[in-house]
Structures are given as C-alpha cells and as structure tokens.
Amino acid sequence: MDQRRADPRGALVRPYAVTRGRTEPRQDIALEAVLTASLTQVAESRFAGHDKHRIATVCEGRAQSLAEIAAYTRMPLGVARVLVADMVAESLLTLHTAAPAEGFEERMELLGRVLSGLRRL
C-alpha cells in the first residue's frame, strides 16, 4: 500500500507554510465581507499559486464572504484571511463593502442582539 494513503497526515500542509509564516493579513477583512472575482482575475490567479487560484474560482460569478471562502476551500479561517487580503492587494479579488465602517461598539451591540435572538430560538 502507498505510504501516503496509509498515513493521512502525509497530505496535510501546515497553515504557516501556505501563508509563508505570516499570521496577520495585510488589511483587516471582516468575516462577512463580500468578495468577487472576474474572469480576468481568475485567469491571472493561475499564476499566483494553487490556493489563490482555488479561492478565485470559488468567487467567480458568485459573491462569497470570507467565511464562505474558508469553508468551501476547506482552509483554516486564518489562512484564508491572509490569502484573501493578499489577493485583494494584488487585485486578484474585488472587495465589496456592504455598509460604511461602523465603530467597534456598534458592531458589538449588533452581534449581541443577533446572539440574543439566536438564543430565543
């Protein structure tokens, strides 16, 4: 039997290897931020590496949030956050903001109301 099939850990790549040791994104992108990729961006992403091309393909023709990208590509959220921020900086993804930036307190209040509503269900 093939050694790689016998040991499932052989197929794993450490997250820091994918991000080249970086743990912080170039820019802060919210989990709910909407990202898209045009046909041109998907084509250009082929030269940026396998993981970035996978992300661009997921965003082609359909807007995706950062959280959805991580889920669809089965990447840890921290890895997806770093790669997506790189791709936005490299113009391989387009970042769409849904609303003007709110302060921390307003966002925490909103999250608190959402959590409270979920607990009632």
- State residue 51's pLDDT score: 87
Task: Find out whether 80 and 55 touch, Cβ atoms under 8 Å.
Answer: yes
What is the average pLDDT across 89-114?
Answer: 77
Query: Which token pair is 118?
Result: 């979920």
What is the average pLDDT across 52-71?
Answer: 88
Neighbours of 65 (CB within 10 A): 16
Domain ranges in the chain? 13-120
- State residue 4's pLDDT score: 47
- State residue 1's pLDDT score: 46
Task: Find out whether 4 and 11 touch, Cβ atoms under 8 Å.
Answer: yes
11 burial type by CB count under 10 A (0-12 exposed, 13-18 middle, 19+ buried): exposed
Confidence of residue 6 (pLDDT cuts 50, 70, 90): low
